[in-house]
Amino acid sequence: MREMQLYTLLEDNAKTSLENLEITGLTDDSRKVQSGMVFACIRGERFDGHTAAAEALEKGAAAVLVDHDLGLGDRQILTEDTRALYGKLCAAWFGHPERKMRFIGVTGTNGKTTITNLIKHILTENGRKVGLIGTIQNEIGDEIVHTDNTTPFVYDLMALYAKMAEAGCDDVVMEVSSFGLVQQRIGETHFAAAVFTNLTQDHLDYHGTMENYYQAKKLLFSRCDTAVIDTDDDYGKRLYSEVTCPKIAYGSSNQADFYADAIKLRADGTSFWLCCGGKSYPVDLHLTGMFNVSNALAAVAACCAVGMSVDDVRKALETCTGVRGRCEVIPTGRDFTVICDYAHTPDAVENILRSVKEYTKGRLICLFGCGGNRDATKRPKMAKAAAKYADFLVVTSDNPRDEEPEAIIADILAGLTDSDVPYEVVTDRKEAILRSMQLAQPEDVIVLAGKGHEDYQVLKGGVHIHMDEREIVRECLPLVPKR
């Protein structure tokens, strides 16, 4: 078992009567406390760790981190912000891996996974070893590491950084969620470049207001060398005017530092001229959709911000194929097209459908549901966004979690009362996918929105069942007669 003297972790906070204490580990979960550990008392939404401090000491904790005097004598370490100190200790416990690599962070409501994957590809093609942290999975070079969260919790994150540093990673490219920022999951990580994509409605169940959600995202920009900001977005414009560090604007306007011109969208890719520094460069991108032009610009600008040449970046960008579950065409060999996409916000639904509509010759069918235990006010808005561009809707379940699927669907349908777009409700997502394929006529395009890369469905009590839309589409094909 690893042991360490507490003072070696505390650095400038070393003046404590506990400085010679041998500790065996760190945790912020009282249920995981073992003899010799430091237990950090965190105030969460459901539980206040301070209520478990005494119990943790009884279980043998070496010390507890607290934000007010609990009368626990010399075994309590008083600090203003237990999350902050816990983050520092976790980083120290793993030998400060956050100081050993270069970090690029991406935040915003939509586009983070796509942009981080593009940046990793560009850096890797240019000879660097890259760690990736995000929604789909974590990656250490080519090695895949499972993840449960977009931005892991601070102890797990520091452990992951340490593995990346040990494996020789030069760079870490990571999605930084608003939850990650508010809960200080990233500790004291400093970013060479930080990207802001956009801010549209999501997660209001947690942040309460768009202003709080914005302020959460903004936290990333007080810890970076260069801010890279989409100034097409209204919140992006505001952030651009508020950040104090060096900044780069990207977007569609020719006033931006990086912008795209003469954009041509196709079903299998996009071409455009990349304009920056007074020059233009042709780009042929294997990704479709206008929003992916914006994502590509973000990746280019971030790579240039950390010192790469536009030419090296552009060449690598062109060899990048799509990201799993992001506007991914599922092969069917039929006369209709099925696209799997992760749109689960009103803005993302609108964007993906508007883009696909550009090249859809038949009808555009959108299948979607909404996640349970998540922002309920986005449900009718997602329905309205879908009805704006789709010709037919199949309303179904996403991850119902602890809610009744029918109740979630009722919230969705409330957004369709003024709409004359025809729809059907099929609560079971597998059956709904089959139904959408049976409805498809030649040249129709079906967009399966919301679950993207997910290969599971989350039901009551956090139960996960296997559900992969690529497999479902394949299994449904024999049930859909060939014309």
Ligand X SMILES: N[C@H](CCC[C@H](N)C(=O)O)C(=O)O
Annotated binding site: 30, 108-114, 149-151, 177, 183, 185, 374, 398-401, 450, 454
Map residues 128-147 to x or -, x wherever contact with ligand ATP holds by CB under 6 A. -------x------------
Is position 113 an interface residue for Mg ion (rule: CB under 5 A)?
yes
Write out the binding residues for ligand X, residues 373-432 only, by CB under 6 A.
Answer: 374, 398-399
Residue 47: contacted member of Mg ion, ligand UAG, ligand ATP, none (CB under 5 to 8 Å, by partner type): ligand UAG
Q: Is 281 exposed, middle or buried (0-12, 13-18, 19+ CB in 10 A)?
A: middle
- C-beta of 202: minimal distance to ligand X in Å? 7
Task: Take residue 411 and report the two structure tokens written for it.
Answer: 């919230």
Question: In terms of CB distance, is 341 or 444 closer to ligand X?
Answer: 341
Residue 180: contacted member of ligand ATP, ligand UAG, Mg ion, none (CB under 5 to 8 Å, by partner type): ligand UAG
- Smallest CA-to-CA distance from 32 within 2, 6, 59 is with 59
- C-beta of 203: minimal distance to ligand X in Å? 7
Residue 198: contacted member of ligand X, Mg ion, ligand ATP, none (CB under 5 to 8 Å, by partner type): ligand ATP
Is position 184 an interface residue for Mg ion (rule: CB under 5 A)?
no
Write out the binding residues for ligand ATP, residues 160-189 only, by CB under 6 A.
Answer: 175
> Which residue among 134, 371, 380, 405 contacts ligand X (CB under 6 A)?
371
- C-beta of 401: minimal distance to ligand X in Å? 7
Question: In terms of CB distance, is 139 or 398 closer to ligand X?
Answer: 398
> Interface with ligand X by CB under 6 A: which range of 44-52, 99-107, 407-415, 448-456?
448-456
Angle between helices 290-305 and 310-318 (to 10 degrees): 140
Q: How many CA atoms does the CB half-sphere of 156 hold within 13 Å? A: 14
Provide the total of helices (H) and of strands (E) in the chain, helices listed first: 16, 25
Question: In terms of CB distance, is 162 or 449 closer to ligand X?
Answer: 449
307: alpha, beta or left? (left if phi > 0; alpha if psi -120 to 50): left
> Which residue among 220, 390, 450, 469 contacts ligand X (CB under 6 A)?
450
Q: Give the total residue count for the chain.
A: 483
Question: In terms of CB distance, is 413 or 467 closer to ligand X?
Answer: 467
CB 213 within 8 A of CB 178: yes
Write out the binding residues for ligand X, residues 129-148 only, by CB under 6 A.
Answer: 135
CB 389 within 8 A of CB 420: no
Rounded Cα distance between 365 and 459, Å, is 26
> Which residue among 75, 83, 112, 120 contacts Mg ion (CB under 5 A)?
112
Q: Where are the alpha helices (DSSP H) in 2-81?
A: 6-10, 53-58
Q: How far is CA 135 from CA 80, 147, 350, 465, in A?
A: 31, 7, 21, 18
- Smallest CA-to-CA distance from 32 within 12, 13, 52, 47 is with 52
**Which residue do the tokens 């952030």 mark?**
239
Question: In terms of CB distance, is 97 or 105 closer to ligand X?
Answer: 105
- C-beta of 423: minimal distance to ligand UAG in Å? 26
**Which residue do the tokens 């883009």 mark?**
355
- C-beta of 116: minimal distance to ligand ATP in Å? 8
Rounded Cα distance between 126 and 103, Å, is 16
Rounded Cα distance between 341 and 327, Å, is 5
What residue numbers does the annotated binding site for meso-2,6-diaminopimelate cover? Answer: 374, 398-401, 450, 454
C-alpha dihedral, 303 to 306 to 309 to 312, nearest 10°: -40
Q: How many CA atoms does the CB half-sphere of 429 hold within 13 Å? A: 28
Is position 135 an interface residue for Mg ion (rule: CB under 5 A)?
yes
Rounded Cα distance between 151 and 153, Å, is 7
Rounded Cα distance between 301 and 196, Å, is 11
- C-beta of 371: minimal distance to ligand X in Å? 2
Interacting residues toward ligand UAG by CB under 6 A: 28-31, 42, 44-47, 49, 52, 135, 149-151, 153, 177, 179-180, 206
Residue 206: contacted member of ligand X, Mg ion, ligand UAG, none (CB under 5 to 8 Å, by partner type): ligand UAG
Residue 451: contacted member of Mg ion, ligand X, ligand ATP, none (CB under 5 to 8 Å, by partner type): ligand X
The 8-class DSSP code of residue 335 comes to S
Residue 82: contacted member of ligand X, ligand ATP, Mg ion, none (CB under 5 to 8 Å, by partner type): none
Contacts of 242 (CB under 8 A, 6+ apart): 218
Is position 116 an interface residue for Mg ion (rule: CB under 5 A)?
no
Map residues 427-466 to x or -, x wherever contact with ligand ATP holds by CB under 6 A. -------------------------x--------------
Q: Is 146 exposed, middle or buried (0-12, 13-18, 19+ CB in 10 A)?
A: exposed
3-state secondary structure at position 428 = coil
- C-beta of 52: minimal distance to Mg ion in Å? 32
Kindly state the helix (H) or strand (E) to which residue 165 belongs, with its residue range.
helix 154-166
Phi first, then psi, for residue 258 (nearest 5°) are -125, 120
Nearest residue to ligand UAG, scored by beta-carbon proximity: 44
Q: Which residues bind ligand X (CB under 6 A)?
A: 135, 150, 344, 371, 374, 398-399, 450-451, 454
Q: Which residues bind ligand ATP (CB under 6 A)?
A: 110-114, 135, 150, 175, 197-198, 291, 294-295, 326, 341-343, 347-348, 351-352, 452
